Amino acid sequence: MQPIDRIRVGNTLGECVLWDDAEAALWWTDIDGRMLFRFDWSTGTIRRTATPERLASFGFIAGQTEFVAAFDCGFALFNPDTGQCSPPITPPGLKRGMRMNDGRVDRQGRFWSGAMVMNPAEPPLAQLYAIQGGVLRSHLEGLAISNGICWSPDSRYFYFADSRRGLIWRYAFDAVEGMLGQREVFARVDGAEPDGACMDSDGCLWSAHWGGSRVVRYSPDGRVDQVLEVPVRQPSCVAFGGPNLDVLLVTSARLGLMDPETGAGDVLVYNVKAQGLPESRFRIDSWPGIQGDEAWRAAMART
C-alpha cells in the first residue's frame, strides 16, 4: 500500500507522534534533532520548536497548553509555544548511558515513560516509570529499550515492548490503582525491533517495526492481522489522526543509515480503513508538588 501523503521533514529520529483533537494538529518529536514539530491539519503548515534536551516523549495536559514531557534526564513540564521548561525530575535508576524513551498518558491521566540503555553491549537495567497521584513510581526493571506503550480500549490491558528483545508484552492492568498485573508474551518480532505503537477502536495493536520496513496490526489475541509495508527501513512510531481519527501517521528516522533512502525521516500518511482512539490527557494534579495556579507557575519558572 502506498502512502496517500507524506510530511517531508527528514527527521534524524522522528518519534512520539500524537494527534491533538482539540487543535486538529499533529505533534511529534525529532529526538536527536532536538526539535518538536506541530503540523496544522487544515493549512498544512509546520511549526518547529527547539527543545532544551532531547525530547523522547510527551503528552497533552488537560486544560493546559503545556505538555508533560520525558527528556534525556527525566520528567518536566514543557511549553511548546515558548520552549520554557520546568526543572527536570530525574527518576531513580536513570544512570549514565541511559535516556528516557517512549511514553504516553493513560485514560486516568497518568503519564508513563520508560528509559533505554544506549549501548547494546551494556546490561538491560532501564526502568519503566509513571507519574501518578503526585509521585513518580517505578513499575518495571531490567529493560533494554522501553517502547510501544498503549492500553486496550477498555483499559484492562497494558501493552509494552522491549525493542532489543523483540518482544511485545501484555499486562493485566488495574486502571483504578494504575498497577501492572500478570504478564504474558503478546507477540514475538523477528527480523526487526518493535518500536512505537498505538491502539485502534477494534482493540487491535499497530506496531512500527524498526529495521523491518513495516507496520504490523495485531488482533486482540496477538495474531498478525495486517502487514503494512512502508518505503522506509526505520518506521519508528504510529498514531491515528485526522478529524475522524481514520488515517494512520507513521514517523521514521535517518539515524544510522549509511545511505539514507529517499523519504527517510518523513512522516507517512496512510488510509488503512481503521479508526483510532483519542489521546488521553495528563492530570496536572498528578504532577509532584502541584497544588493550584501559583504552584503551577512556580513549576514552569526556569531555574
Please list the active-site residues. 195
For 46, 120, 131, 182, the CA distances from 95, given in Å and listed in that order, are: 35, 15, 19, 28
- Per-residue pLDDT at 258: 77
d(CA 129, CA 254) in angstroms, rounded, equals 28
pLDDT above 50 (res 165): yes
Averaged pLDDT for residues 115-143? 97
- Per-residue pLDDT at 262: 75
d(CA 89, CA 219) in angstroms, rounded, equals 37
- Do residues 113 and 67 touch, judged by C-beta distance below 8 A? no
Q: What is the mean pLDDT of the chain?
A: 94
All three cell numbers of 11, joined, read: 527527521
Confidence band, pLDDT 50/70/90 cuts, at residue 32: very high
pTM of the model: 0.95
All three cell numbers of 236, joined, read: 519508528
Residues in the chain: 303
Pairing mode, strands 146-151 and 157-162: antiparallel
Q: Which among 182, 268, 235, 199 is positioned nearest to 4, based on CA atoms?
A: 268
Q: CB-hemisphere CA count at 13 Å for 266?
A: 16
Domains and CATH numbers, the chain: 5-300 (2.120.10.30)
Confidence band, pLDDT 50/70/90 cuts, at residue 300: low
pLDDT above 80 (res 208): yes
242-253 pLDDT tens trace: 999 999 999 999
d(CA 90, CA 37) in angstroms, rounded, equals 25
Torsion of the alpha carbons at 174, 177, 183 and 187, rounded to the nearest 10: 70
- Do residues 158 and 139 touch, judged by C-beta distance below 8 A? no
Q: What is the 3-state secondary structure (H, E, C) of 197-218?
A: EEEECCCCEEEEEECCCEEEEE
Averaged pLDDT for residues 13-18? 98
